[in-house]
Chains A and B, each alone.
Chain A
Amino acid sequence: DADVTQTPRNRITKTGKRIMLECSQTKGHDRMYWYRQDPGLGLRLIYYSFDVKDINKGEISDGYSVSRQAQAKFSLSLESAIPNQTALYFCATSDLTGEGAGELFFGEGSRLTVL
Chain B
Amino acid sequence: EDQVTQSPEALRLQEGESSSLNCSYTVSGLRGLFWYRQDPGKGPEFLFTLYSAGEEKEKERLKATLTKKESFLHITAPKPEDSATYLCAVQDRTGANNLFFGTGTRLTVIP
Contacts and interface: CB of A to CB of B under 8 A. Distances in A.
Please say whether chains A and B are actual partners in one complex. yes
Interface of A: 4, 31, 33, 40-45, 48, 56, 58, 90, 92, 94, 99, 101-109
A107 B38 CA distance: 12
Given A40-B103, A42-B87, A42-B102, A102 B34 contact: yes
Given A42-B87, A43-B87, A48-B98, A102 B32 contact: yes
Interface of B: 4, 31-32, 34, 36, 41-46, 49, 87, 89, 91, 96-99, 101-104
Q: Would you list the 9 A-B pairs with minimal beta carbon distance, nearest first?
A: A106-B43, A43-B101, A42-B103, A42-B101, A102-B32, A102-B91, A103-B46, A106-B44, A101-B97
A93 to B, nearest CB: 11
Contacts of B44: 43, 90, 104, 106
Given A92-B43, A109-B41, A104 B87 contact: no
B43 A103 contact: no
B42 to A, nearest CB: 6
Contact of A107 (B32, B36, B43): B43
Contact of A106 (B4, B45, B96): B45
B43 A90 contact: yes
A45 B41 CA distance: 19
B84 to A, nearest CB: 14
Contact of A108 (B43, B46, B87): B43
A66 to B, nearest CB: 15
A105 B34 CA distance: 13
Contacts of A99: 49
Contact of A109 (B34, B43, B97, B101): B43
Contacts of A107: 43
A4 B41 CA distance: 15
Contacts of A105: 46
